[in-house]
Amino acid sequence: MNGHSQAPFASSEVEMPRTGVSTSLDTNGIRAEFPGLAGGWHYLDTAATAQKPQAVIDATVRAMGADYATVHRGVYARSANMTVAYEAARERVARFIGGKADEVVFVRGATEGINLVAHSYPNKGRVLLSVLEHHSNIVPWQLAGWQVDVCPLTTDGCINLDAAEAMLTNEHTMVAFAHVSNVLGSTLDAARAAKLAHGVGAKLLLDGCQAVPRMEVDVAALDCDFYVFSGHKLYGPTGIGALWGRAELLEAMPPWQGGGSMIDKVTFEKTTYAPAPARFEAGTPAIVEVMGLHAAIDYVEHIGLPAIHAHETALVSQLRDALRRRNDITLFGPDNAAGIVSFAMEGVHPHDLGTILDESGVAIRAGHHCAQPLMEHLGVPVTARASFGLYSDADDIAALLAGIERTRRIFG
């Protein structure tokens, strides 16, 4: 892929100390492609937003500069070329998740995608959420007037689908679950969730923000009805994401926002609308960001999602094993968490821990992670969260553990 300075794989394995696990990703070569990681910064906040590879930066600079023009409007050559590139990015997103191009709506991110469905889906009724949902998969349903029911979790922090099966009724018209929890890293059995939803005539929306950066997603195999994700967690730009929806569902949904590009014919008496997905893309789109998203998907697939998943799984195992040996750490979530380790340190507020770690060049997340209902369920106001990316390595874990030990000495 254009923009790669080195091959993403090395012939020798990188040994992971203390656990015996290993990974074939050449993290030294990969880290060199991420300008934001220069200087040996130990970035463990990828679940919040991923650092950007040079390939994505180059694509956005090129789109903002030498290639820049508007799309869907100009009759001149550069505008036509940019329109072709913009629609090629839509096709790229569709291939990435196993959908069709006319089922992909470009949105500002998963939050906007969920809001769009919550407000535009015509058959509003009851929606089943879960305790672990991000606020962006709670508040939009409330704002749009849905009746919200909440599915509990299993003891290890997964969505309890046995409970969901017992709760679902024919009054439910939507089920909206996180594919991977942004706090616990637990992974949903999405195919079973779809079967349960469809069994009562409901549709299934999946929040894929934490899934698409680290696992292969096929919406056809999952049998979901809507799928949303944000580009900035996928090593792409902020301000861009995608909503995938089944074509017949999108076609039955009215526009959520009005303006240019989403119309067929406008008069002061009546306006008719363009077919989906254009119907949902009012105004001048995020042209540059779409080009960056295309480059990010190319980058991730060049490295390989199975390799990324295996790499992050090894890191999660190493960190959880190390933290479990301490008597002052409480771990949250399942042992097979996808790329995320949330924990609490006895007698130390996560904000204090995060501040001390920052002094040592280690960045973690400390807070409620936009999941306040989940914090209440866990019995803590906030947690510390270390989250991995394809550039993370054993040195990041060593630096984190050293920072935790330093914090312990400070607090006694």
Any alpha helices (H) in 200-341, and if so which ranges? 219-222, 247-252, 287-303, 305-324
CA distance 118 to 128: 12
Q: What is the pLDDT of residue 412?
A: 86
The pLDDT tens digits of the residues spanning 161-185 come to 999 999 999 999 999 999 999 999 9
Among 15-24, 204-213, 240-249, the minimum mean pLDDT is found in 15-24
In a domain, 118, yes or no: yes
Task: Categorize the per-residue pLDDT at 22 as very low, low, confident or very high, splitting at 50, 70 and 90.
Answer: low
* CB-based contact 137:109 (threshold 8 Å): no
In a domain, 4, yes or no: no
How distant, in Å, are the alpha carbons of 153, 239, 337, 385, 405 from that of 398? Answer: 32, 33, 19, 15, 11
356 and 333 within one domain:
yes
The pLDDT tens digits of the residues spanning 400-412 come to 999 999 999 999 8
Residue 95 neighbours by CB under 8 Å, 6+ apart: none
153 and 219 within one domain:
yes
Burial of 58 (0-12, 13-18, 19+ CB in 10 A): middle
pLDDT above 90 covers a percentage of the chain that reads 93
Q: What is the pLDDT of residue 235?
A: 98
In a domain, 2, yes or no: no
pTM score of the predicted model = 0.93
Q: What is the pLDDT of residue 6?
A: 29
The pLDDT tens digits of the residues spanning 188-197 come to 999 999 999 9
Instruction: Say yes or no to pLDDT of 71 above 80.
Output: yes
Instruction: Say yes or no to pLDDT of 1 above 70.
Output: no
Instruction: Say yes or no to pLDDT of 73 above 90.
Output: no
Instruction: Say yes or no to pLDDT of 9 above 60.
Output: no
| Residue from 151, 209, 224, 370 carrying the catalytic annotation | 370
CB atoms closer than 10 angstroms to residue 12: 8
Q: What is the pLDDT of residue 225?
A: 98
Instruction: Say yes or no to pLDDT of 19 above 50.
Output: no
Nearest to 176 by CA among 239, 218, 246, 226: 226
In a domain, 169, yes or no: yes
Instruction: Say yes or no to pLDDT of 114 above 50.
Output: yes
* CB-based contact 233:47 (threshold 8 Å): yes
Length of the chain: 412
Averaged pLDDT, 206-217: 98
HSE-up of residue 46 (Cα within 13 Å, Cβ side): 32
105 and 41 within one domain:
no
Peptide bond into 334 cis (omega under 30): no
176 and 100 within one domain:
yes
Averaged pLDDT, 372-397: 97
Instruction: Say yes or no to pLDDT of 17 above 90.
Output: no
Instruction: Say yes or no to pLDDT of 47 above 70.
Output: yes
The pLDDT tens digits of the residues spanning 251-301 come to 999 999 999 999 999 999 999 999 999 999 999 999 999 999 999 999 999
The partner residues of 174 in beta bridges, in order of sequence, read: 127, 203
The pLDDT tens digits of the residues spanning 228-252 come to 999 999 999 999 999 999 999 999 9
Q: What is the pLDDT of residue 16?
A: 33
In a domain, 197, yes or no: yes
What CATH number corresponds to the domain at position 232?
A: 3.40.640.10
* Residue 80 structural domain: 58-301
For the chain, give the mean pLDDT.
94
Averaged pLDDT, 353-378: 97
204 and 95 within one domain:
yes
Residue 293 neighbours by CB under 8 Å, 6+ apart: 89, 93, 231, 234, 236, 237, 240, 242
Nearest to 368 by CA among 383, 357, 355: 383
286 and 198 within one domain:
yes
- Catalytic residue status for 224: no
Q: Checking phi first, is residue 98 left (phi over 0); if not, alpha (psi -120 to 50) or beta?
A: left
What CATH number corresponds to the domain at position 389?
A: 3.90.1150.10
The domain tally of the chain equals: 2
In a domain, 3, yes or no: no
261 and 156 within one domain:
yes
